[in-house]
Amino acid sequence: MKTFTNYIDGQWVAPSTGAYDENRNPGKPDEVLGMFASSAPADVSAAIDAAARAFGTWSAVPGPERAQILYRFADLLEQNRDELADILSREEGKILKEAHGEVTRARAETLFMAGEASRLTGEHMNSERPGVEVTRTRVPLGPIGVITPWNFPIVTPVRKISPALAYGDTVVFKPATLTPWCAVRLVELYEQAGLPAGVLNLVTGSGGAIGSVISGSPTIRGITFTGSTAVGKKIFRASVENFTKVQLEMGGKNAALVFDAENLSAAADQIVAAAFASSGQRCTAISRVVVGEAEHDELVRLMTARINEISVGDALEAETGIGPLVSAEQVSVMERYIEIAKKESVQIVTGGNRARSATGGYFFEPTLLTQVRPDSALAREEIFGPILSVLKVATFDEAVAVCNDTEYGLAGCVFTRLIANEKKFVQNVEAGMIHVNHGTASQAHVPFGGVKNSGFGAFSIGPTAKDFYTTDKIVYRM
């Protein structure tokens, strides 16, 4: 069985603890994928020190030269796409088609950010004093702490690491405990692309044991995090002591509003795809459908038919539509919400159970619930799995109010043929990303983020990345 170590200052080094954690295939829990470093605070401190030492040299490298490394990394992603997709499917449970798509998306985002390394500009500002020239430039922020989740263990790290490198920052990377294999392989490819020692550092292990070292470090000048709102709040509180800049991408309870839709069948296709892709384990997954009374029954019928066509099984099998959930704990979470549904007399239209598996994998049936009340936990809390709730409303204004009746504000979509409904939705729904007659898929060059308890700080992806990874410097010159 292979053992994987940390990557600090250009070297693969054993953790100071000497301890390693098993990593298992969620679809076949008896299959151990490898042993990964179980790190201690001392390991994180060593990684932070390495990033700090490398920052002065790396930040002085011309942007186009940094871009060449990212272009090489993008090429390596493509060359190793099949291997990366296989690792992702076996480690996280994402079906192979989606895993390939994730690698492709990571490459696309890297290519955009490589271009940004040459596009970073400043501005010449008019001076109120004759003979004094004023310029505004953007400079690298400093060592960056990158803390990533398990649900997109290829694209989310790349989304954070590639822009940091493009803009001249150095990185300390802490991946999710459940998906260290993807992280190790990514760092190997960044290393192969030609990164100097200390520019990118990887430390694996429990977030509780080592994450606080990153968020509490005065040396780390920025922390970019994707994960739960609860953990995001902890990171924010820890960062305040050192005035550390933060970029937090957190939970979602995204609604699809269906009212006077032009094509209910097309809406059902979009909703089911957005609800159950990645087994519903996406922050942008649709988890609520808010629908008018006149369209409710037909939409439920159409969605049920599509959901029943989704096959649950081995992530590596071509016919599989939903793979395993990432852990036994995630299955237990689904079962807890099904118990809530039963207690509240919610109708379980389809699904609602663990899916049978000869391998003992963590499978759960795609589930559709109706007669869900707006004040139910099913309608307000992030479930993060293959459970979709339907809420019936009488008016469009009521529908908008229901969409906003949650702590989250990441994404939302509306299916309607009426321009007045579209405008009202866009203007009044509290979300960072709005989709009209379209599911909740994002694009590789478009800013991504949320409001309320879904996001804090600069949006990631695209041109807004520089707002987090760089800072202003103003120069007065006579």
Q: Do 170 and 51 form a contact (C-beta atoms < 8 A)?
A: yes
pLDDT, one tens digit per residue, over 105-120 is 999 999 999 999 999 9
φ/ψ of 280, rounded to 5, equals 75, 5
Q: Which is higher by pLDDT, 164 or 208?
A: 164
pLDDT value of residue 208: 84
Q: How far apart (Å, rounded) are the C-alpha atoms in residues 56 and 59?
A: 6
Gyration radius of the chain's alpha carbons: 23
How confident is the model over 361-371, as a mean pLDDT? 98
Question: Residue 209: which pLDDT band, with cuts at 50, 70 and 90?
Answer: confident
- The pLDDT of residue 400 is 98
Dist CA 38 CA 174 (whole Å): 12
Quick one: pLDDT at residue 1? 80
Q: Which residues are CB-contacts of 165 (< 8 A; sequence separation ≥ 6)?
A: 66, 69, 70, 113, 171, 190, 195, 199, 200
Q: CB–CB of 26/324 below 8 Å?
A: yes
Angle between helices 155-166 and 96-119 (to 10 degrees): 10
Look at residue 29 in the predicted model and tell me its pLDDT. Answer: 97
> Beta 408-409 vs 3-4: how paired, if at all?
unpaired
Q: What's residue 290's pLDDT?
A: 98
Examine the pLDDT at 356 and tell me if it is beyond 90: no
Give the closest residue to 161 by CA, choosing from 150, 151, 170: 170
Whether residue 235 has pLDDT greater than 90: yes
Kindly provide the residue ranges of all beta strands, DSSP E only, lying in 130-208, ordered along the sequence: 133-140, 144-147, 171-174, 200-202
- State the residue for tokens 């802490």: 174
Average pLDDT on 175-203 reads: 98
Residue 184: pLDDT above 90?
A: yes
| Strand intervals (E) in 261-395 | 286-292, 347-350, 367-370, 387-393
- 149 compared with 208, residue with greater pLDDT: 149
% of the chain at pLDDT higher than 70: 100
* Catalytic residue set: 249, 283
Q: How many CB atoms lie within 10 A of CB 343?
A: 9
- Mean pLDDT, range 82-86, rounded to an integer: 98
CA gap 38, 46 in Å, rounded: 15
User: What is the total residue count of the chain?
Assistant: 478
- Max distance between CA atoms of the chain, in angstroms, equals 80
What mean pLDDT comes out for the span 150-168?
Answer: 98
Nearest residue to 286 via CA among 364, 390, 365: 390
Average pLDDT of the residues of the chain? 97
How sure is the predictor about 358, in pLDDT bands with cuts at 50, 70 and 90? confident
Mean pLDDT computed over 333-342: 98
Closest to 249 measured CA to CA, from 345, 379, 152: 152
CA–CA dist 212, 145 (Å, integer): 11
Is residue 39 scored above 90 in pLDDT? yes
Is it the case that residue 411 has pLDDT exceeding 90?
yes
Over range 321-333, report the average pLDDT.
98
Cβ count near 420 (within 10 Å)? 10
